[in-house]
Amino acid sequence: ERYNRAMQDWADAAVKSENSLGMLNIGQSIITNTTMIGAMAYSVYGWQQGLLTVGDLVLVNALLMQLFRPLDLLGMVYRTIRQGLIDMDAMFKLIDTKAEIVDAPNAKPLNVVDGTVAFKDVYFAYDKDRQILKGLSFTVPPDGTLAIVGPSGAGKSTLARLLFRFYDPQGGRILIDGQDIATVQQESLRGAIGIVPQDSVLFNDTIGYNIGYGREGATQEEIEAAARGAALDEFIAQLPEGYDTQVGERGLKLSGGEKQRVAIARTLLKNPPILVLDEATSALDSRTEDEIQTTLAKISERRTTLIIAHRLSTIIHADEIIVLDEGVIAERGSHDELLVKNGLYADMWKRQAEDRKELV
């Protein structure tokens, strides 16, 4: 969300900058052309009065052209210098910014053995006035799949942010194979976790580059293998430039399903022991969602998988489902067990089933 806001702010600033440059150019053109017309009119008047010759007219015109040519570049040079100063100031501010989350002294790399993830009595709040998580405890076993569902604002996506250690909990611990993530190096922690988000960030570069972004130094063969694993290879083979095809700003040349497959290929290239699916198909239509779900099921095999979902139809095969409500676990169990309880999960399932019928 912060990245999207920053990109939107940048786009707004770019439009404002272009508009200001356009107004500056218009103003310069009015001034220079008015001056040119006035000078030439005065010169013609002088020639009519016998004060100037035809050569004088040519000389005046040449001098004016030499004078106004550098003025035409003034707006561009001014904007370039001004933008450079602003960028320099922003760069120094970024350099001086202190990280909110830092590695503990003598932190060691995370050693992943089987990928067990455990939340132990975790409390968290973005601000003091609203507690998001209230003593949350659960464990995702090795190679197991645990799904987190619940109403909007229940704290589902917060779990992924805490697992990546973008924030530290105010209470409790988060463990991976018994190691508190607050005591290990962040680089090794994030290297052990792969995520397929709802809205994948793609760069204005080739599709091969966007897949290779998943792991620095990946070879072309590894990138192609990841694309095959994400069922993206046939689509790429149909492109005129193959892996060198430009995807456009934020992947605008790709469909939603194709962008998600690029994100899946990135994750496969990274080959993490722990996988987080953060509403990975919520922005897709039903047909594309089914296709992506099949691919996600394949890459989840032999990995500890945490699924954060809104559509309950995507998590019915999870080993365990936890229903969050106002920061606490309201229910937990398998899909069938939760339906039998006829509680919050069953209500959510019925509402979504009715919505699907209305769409049909």
- Report the distance separating Cα 295 and Cα 231, nearest Å: 7
Ordered structural domains, the chain, with CATH: 2-96 (no CATH), 117-359 (3.40.50.300)
Interatomic CA distance for residues 180 and 176, integer angstroms:
7
Residue 200, C-beta contacts closer than 8 angstroms, at least 6 positions apart: 251, 259, 260, 262, 263
* pLDDT above 50 for 317: yes
pLDDT at 285: 65
Stretch 346-357: mean pLDDT: 83
Query: Phi and psi for 150 in degrees, rounded to 5?
Result: 155, 170
Q: What pTM, to 2 d.p., does this model score?
A: 0.71
Give the Cα separation of 199 and 261 in Å (integer). 12
Task: List the structure tokens of 239.
Answer: 């492109």
For 61-70, which contacts have Cβ atoms below 8 Å and span 24 or more sequence positions? 64/35, 64/36, 64/39, 64/40, 68/32, 68/35, 68/36
Q: For 111-157, how does the pLDDT look when each residue is reduced to its tens digit (9 = 90+)?
A: 998 999 999 999 999 888 888 999 999 999 998 999 999 888 788 88
Which of the pair, 350 or 286, is modelled with greater confidence?
Answer: 350
3-class state of residue 179 by DSSP: strand
What is the Cα–Cα distance from 176 to 116, expressed in whole angstroms?
6
Q: Which pair of tokens denotes residue 267?
A: 């994750």
CB-based burial, 23-36: b 16+ in 10 Å, e otherwise: eeeeebeeebeeeb
pLDDT of residue 75: 66
Residue tagged 């229940």 (tokens): 154
| pLDDT tens-place string over residues 198-242 | 778 888 899 999 999 888 888 999 999 989 888 888 899 998 899
Model pLDDT for residues 16-72, shown as the tens digit of each residue: 877 877 787 788 778 878 888 888 888 888 888 888 788 887 888 788 777 777 777
Mean pLDDT of 271-277: 90
